[in-house]
Amino acid sequence: MNVITDNLDLFFQGFAKTLGICIICMIGSLILGTLVAACRISPVAPLRGVGSLYVNFVRNCPLTVVLFFIAFGLPEIGINQSYYVFGCTALIIYTAAFVCEALRSGINAIPTGQAEAARAIGLTFGQNLREVVLPQAFRTAIPPVGSVIIAMFKNSAILGAFGVGGDLLGNAILLTSSRGQDPTAVYLGIGFFFLMITIPAGLLLQFLERKAAILR
């Protein structure tokens, strides 16, 4: 087990990089997911169509396919970015579809009377979303959105195989292959550091859930 203590610097460095990816992608996918959810419930038919198309297309593609498409497809048509940018973009696009659906489940849980009442007092669609529907929807949707985000943290490991180096998985490959360390110990260590991200996230989620629960 001393492979972990001997290489703590590599593990911590990987942990920092993975955590960075997780935070960027969490923020990005929450924003994009909310926008898509807004499209899907809007009164404008073309917007609804675009939203549904996006969700159904992305949600039914494996993450690796989305990553391949972006990391190897875009350079073919002359779009060059760092693999870090490509990787995060793919993860955001992929996760946003799931965030959108989790949010929509929250929106659907809001009684129709709420939106009707808001329209009745003369709020526009935008105001209706901002002031009445979304605040309640977010609170209701915390558990499903939280699950999606935790799944995304774990999905972020795959970026290590798409040219993003120095993350937890990339450093695990370095240790097992070129430095001849025992894979069992290394991957147990990697698992532990992933838990260091996902368990606190789960606890935070529970706390938010309790805090934001709508008393009905």
Partner 1 sequence: MRTARIAAVVAAGVLALTACGGGSDSDDGDTGAAAVNSDATFEAGTTMETLQKAGKITIGTKFDQPGFGEENLSGIPEGFDVEIGKILAAGMGISADNIKWVETPSAVRENVIEDGDVDLVAATYTINDERKERISFAGPYYVAGQQIMVRNDDSTITGPDSFKENADLKVCSVAGSTPADNIGEYLANKSQLVTFDLYSKCADALRTKQVDAVTTDNVILLGLVGDSDGAFKMVGDTFTEEPYGIGLKKGDTAFCEYIVDTLKKASEDGSYEKAWTETAGKVEGAQTPTLPTADACA
Please give the residue ranges that form the binding site for partner 1 (CB under 8 A).
72, 75-76, 80, 82-84, 160-163, 165-166, 170, 173-183
Structure-block tokens of residue 25 = 């992608």
Three-state SS across 35-57? HHHHHHHCCCHHHHHHHHHHHHH
CB 181, min distance to partner 1, A: 8
Shortest Å distance, C-beta 93 to partner 1: 19
Q: How many CB atoms lie within 10 A of CB 22?
A: 24
Which residue, 60 or 112, is less far from partner 1 as judged by CB?
A: 60
Report in angstroms how near the CB of residue 190 gets to partner 1 at its nearest. 13
Which among 149, 143, 126 is positioned nearest to 44, based on CA atoms? Answer: 126
For partner 1, the closer of residues 163 and 202 by Cβ is 163
Q: Which is nearer to partner 1, 13 or 198 (CB)?
A: 13
Tell me whether residue 77 or residue 120 sits nearer to partner 1 (CB atom): 77
Alpha carbon distance 90, 28 (integer Å): 11
